[in-house]
């Protein structure tokens, strides 16, 4: 490299005066790992899979109890008993959704960058492809562009906030199917989500000891909600930095039994139009097809190019066997 100001392994002035000479003889150290400045982790994806991935080979069909059978109750003596047959189960049917991530490499680049003191090009590109595929799955969970087509999974927003859509083959706009609805959206009214409003929504999803365990929102809504609890942060000697005052929660905090998390994949609405989602992960979760769980094609070479191509795949969807265990908060500042 004969010029200064080079990005990468070039020697630039004023660090070196003999630029051409230094470029020819200086030993370079290349970091043996990739620094991630692009990909974003999704707390929602972690939260819904933290108890282990759900795997199946079967089609996604599950039976739902739609009504109490009223053929019972008190009776006396020779009273005629009702033995009528009640069809009280409705099948829900989802279909698998297929995702892919391609990986292409010129063979000449592989020859010139195959390990040594720095990074292995094939390993680096596999890491990038894996992270890229995960980003697509995280966007699909929220129906965020470009993962917002009819080919994408049944997303969290469609399950929890929308109430007049058809999902798993059941039309929720029909009054007779009201059992398939989430709890009624809680309207916040263009202000920060407050504790009293959050409690109203929380209690709508509580059934005895069965309580929601995840409260998800974007970072702006999270900050507004968290600020109401800062006064509860403990100022003790147990803090990590003995010389600094801990004025807030170091980690995520619990609201009742729900972990409150900011997720940058939650669709960012404008002020007064943000949403939050209260979930019970026992009833809503990703499910993966065990026959196509992050499978990878062997590298193939086209006949007329010295390029090798591989693709990784995953087949999955998001199931919700109990929409009534979820609720959305809308209209957050």
Query: Each residue of 216-265: pLDDT tens digit?
Result: 999 999 999 998 887 665 555 554 556 666 666 666 788 999 999 999 99
Divide the 333 residues of the chain into consecutive groups of 10 and give the mean pLDDT of each group.
Answer: 54 67 80 87 92 89 90 90 90 95 93 73 91 96 94 96 95 95 95 94 95 95 88 56 63 87 90 94 95 95 92 97 96 94
| Token pair in block for residue 8 | 């990468």
> What pTM was estimated for this model as a whole?
0.86
> Are the beta carbons of 202 and 265 closer than 8 angstroms?
no
Q: What is the pLDDT of residues 169-198, one digit of tens each?
A: 999 999 999 999 999 999 999 999 999 999
> Are the beta carbons of 276 and 269 closer than 8 angstroms?
no
| Token pair in block for residue 64 | 């739902």
> Are the beta carbons of 217 and 332 closer than 8 angstroms?
yes
pLDDT for res 7: 59
pLDDT for res 236: 52
Using DSSP's 3-state secondary structure scheme, residue 111 falls into helix
| Maximum distance among all Cα pairs of the chain, rounded to whole angstroms | 110
Nearest Cα residue to 318 out of 19, 95, 23, 39: 95
CATH class of 46-61+89-239+246-332: alpha beta
- The DSSP secondary-structure symbol of 52 reads -
Domains of the chain by residue range: 46-61+89-239+246-332
DSSP collapsed to 3 states, 176-239:
HHHHHCCCCCEEEEEECCCHHHHHHHHHHCCECCECCCEEEECHHHHHHHHHHHHHHCCCCCCC
pLDDT for res 208: 92
Residue with tokens 């079967």: 58
pLDDT for res 311: 96
Nearest Cα residue to 45 out of 286, 321, 323: 286
| Token pair in block for residue 246 | 């801990």
């Amino acid at each position: 490299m004969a010029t200064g100001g080079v990005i990468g392994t070039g020697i630039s002035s004023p660090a070196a005066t003999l630029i051409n000479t230094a470029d020819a003889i200086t030993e370079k150290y290349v970091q043996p790992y990739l620094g991630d400045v692009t990909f974003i982790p999704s707390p929602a994806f972690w939260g819904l899979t933290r108890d282990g991935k759900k795997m199946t080979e079967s089609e996604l069909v599950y039976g739902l109890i739609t009504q109490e059978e009223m053929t019972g109750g008190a009776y006396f003596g020779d009273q005629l008993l009702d033995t009528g047959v009640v069809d009280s189960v409705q099948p829900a049917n989802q279909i698998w959704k297929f995702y892919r991530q391609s990986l292409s490499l010129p063979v000449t680049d592989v020859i010139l960058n195959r390990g040594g003191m720095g990074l292995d090009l094939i390993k680096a590109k596999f890491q990038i492809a894996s992270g890229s595929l995960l980003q697509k799955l995280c966007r699909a969970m929220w129906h965020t562009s470009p993962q917002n087509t009819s080919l994408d999974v049944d997303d969290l927003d469609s399950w929890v906030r929308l109430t007049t859509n058809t999902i798993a083959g059941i039309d929720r706009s029909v009054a007779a199917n009201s059992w398939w609805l989430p709890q009624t959206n809680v309207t916040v009214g263009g202000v920060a989500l407050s504790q009293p409003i959050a409690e109203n929504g929380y209690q709508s999803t509580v059934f005895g000891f069965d309580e929601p365990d995840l409260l998800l929102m974007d970072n702006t809504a999270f900050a507004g909600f968290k600020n109401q609890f800062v006064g509860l942060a403990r100022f003790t000697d147990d803090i990590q930095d003995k010389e600094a005052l801990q004025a807030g929660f170091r980690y995520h905090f619990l609201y009742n039994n729900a972990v409150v998390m900011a997720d940058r994949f939650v669709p960012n609405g404008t002020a007064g139009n943000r949403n939050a989602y209260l979930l019970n992960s026992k009833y809503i979760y990703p499910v993966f097809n065990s026959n196509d769980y992050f499978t990878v094609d062997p590298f193939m070479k086209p006949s007329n190019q010295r390029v090798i191509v591989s693709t990784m795949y995953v087949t999955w969807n998001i199931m919700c066997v109990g929409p009534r265990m979820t609720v959305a908060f809308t209209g957050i500042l």
